[in-house]
Chains A and B, each alone.
Chain A
């Protein structure tokens, strides 16, 4: 764990991307589905996942997209990044989505489809449940 940007405790399934995410324009605000055909999560929905990705990119308005997908109940329940950017940090802060950054090793250990418990208050914030 490198940093805790937004605190919280959630249990869920990892949706992992190796690509950065540009929330504005590539994530559908209503469904949470990624609609950029060049993205490795193309056609997948971020709804109710623990979204693990390297970092956010692109226009700052993406913060409102995070707030929008949360309002439409299509947001991830937590986000985990290698590197944090301002769009994701502020979007998560306002939408109250737990957000942490992790090391390269921790990032490699988080596999797509695995169930984890994320508890930012715990001394061991990420616990594998299976």
Chain B
């Protein structure tokens, strides 16, 4: 990799230990991704916020570097482990709460916007077409590259943090114009958001860096998010194209048989004790839609809804949170289904969700069984 004189100096430690660490990460990342140089970025989105995921090592690391590290570009942040407004309702131990608050403090000290959201593309203004950003959250990176006309690597927690601290990122192939080598032919009729999540999960498994999908119709925002969340969970792929002209690429079909394989891998029980909606977190559009669909109905069991704080505030002003709470929903901001400490296998056997990403992590990280259903089926079966 070619570095400027200033970048070399930082790598040698002449600008302090924090910058040296940051540049070492960028260089390792750049070598890994065949980048020939570093390029300026305008926005970083960091993962590695939930104490459940980063643990004591992460908490100590952040606490240490936050003493002198400061972000150089606009930097937003993934969800943490709980909603700070109602943390006392969830029986979390004091150690978890204090470590999580320490992580929150470290990021704020470094100058990060405390957005606690995995859907930065929905709660911030999108910069102009082609802008270079560094998004660590996998669904957000895929969404940025595929639907928002932005350019990002599928960053790791560390490379995004290094980008935030330096304002630089490796110029790797996802930032360049390249064509996917593989086309997935969508063969499922009348897909819903769960189908798109399974398609994404399949795409992540078979695709490499980017993948083309043909035969897909108009997708609503819920389906786009589900597709991105599914793909980010299963692979290293970080960009979709939607070209019908797939003459140049290898083809693979996503048909009933492939869909059933994904379903059988992730659906491990027929009934959940509670329902979760939001992984990725729900945006205002989905909250509004849900409030309308739940009119006159109420959930027969617990239903946890995860959304960003800013979305909850807007939804409250519009009267939606009130309606959702009347329908029996618990609305949580700052956190997400994915890797939540709020669902424990000692208390819950199974969870019903329409999220492929949520399903994967509930099963593998929380150790609870998952019952997959689309939102329409959830409303049909689980409300009265």
Contacts and interface: CB of A to CB of B under 8 A. Distances in A.
Contact of B364 (A35, A61, A62): A35
Interface in B13-28: 21, 24-25, 28
21 contacts: A4-B31, A36-B364, A57-B204, A58-B233, A60-B137, A60-B138, A60-B155, A60-B156, A60-B160, A61-B50, A61-B157, A63-B48, A63-B156, A67-B61, A68-B54, A68-B56, A71-B56, A86-B33, A89-B156, A90-B25, A94-B158
Interface string A41-63: 00000000000000111111111
Given A58-B235, A59-B138, 15 more contacts: A5-B28, A25-B360, A29-B55, A55-B236, A57-B236, A58-B232, A60-B136, A60-B155, A61-B50, A62-B156, A64-B157, A67-B57, A67-B61, A89-B156, A90-B29
Contacts of B234: 57-58
A25 B159 contact: no
A84 interface: yes
Contacts of B60: 71
Given A24-B53, A60-B160, A91-B156, A85 B204 contact: no
Contacts of A91: 156, 158
Contacts of B361: 25
Interface in A79-111: 84-87, 89-94
A68 B158 contact: no
Contact of A90 (B28, B54, B57, B61): B28
A86 B24 contact: no
Interface in B25-64: 25, 28-29, 31-33, 47-48, 50, 53-58, 60-61
B301 to A, nearest CB: 25
A36 B24 CA distance: 32
A38 B265 contact: yes
B154 interface: yes
The interface centre, meaning the residue of A55, A89, A91, A93 with most chain B CB atoms within 10 A of its CB, is A93
A116 interface: no
Interface in A1-44: 3-6, 20, 22, 24-26, 29, 35-36, 38
A86 B137 contact: no
A68 B55 contact: yes
B365 interface: yes
A64 B48 contact: yes
Contact of A6 (B28, B47, B232, B360): B28
Q: What is the interface residue range for chain A against chain B? A: 35 or more
B32 A3 contact: yes
Contact of A86 (B56, B57, B154): B154
B153 interface: yes
B311 interface: no
B58 A67 contact: yes
A64 B55 contact: yes
Contacts of A56: 236
A89 B28 contact: yes
A42 B81 CA distance: 27
The interface centre, meaning the residue of A38, A72, A89 with most chain B CB atoms within 10 A of its CB, is A89
B137 to A, nearest CB: 7
A26 B236 contact: no
Contacts of A38: 265
A71 B13 CA distance: 23
Nearest to B364: A25
A5 B286 CA distance: 42
Contacts of A20: 235
B339 interface: yes
Interface in B153-181: 153-160, 162
A5 to B, nearest CB: 5
The interface centre, meaning the residue of B56, B162, B236 with most chain A CB atoms within 10 A of its CB, is B236
Given A24-B53, A35-B364, A61 B32 contact: no
Nearest to A59: B138
The interface centre, meaning the residue of B21, B24, B56, B156 with most chain A CB atoms within 10 A of its CB, is B156
A26 B32 CA distance: 23
Given A58-B234, A85-B236, A86-B33, A64 B58 contact: yes
A86 B61 CA distance: 19
A92 to B, nearest CB: 8
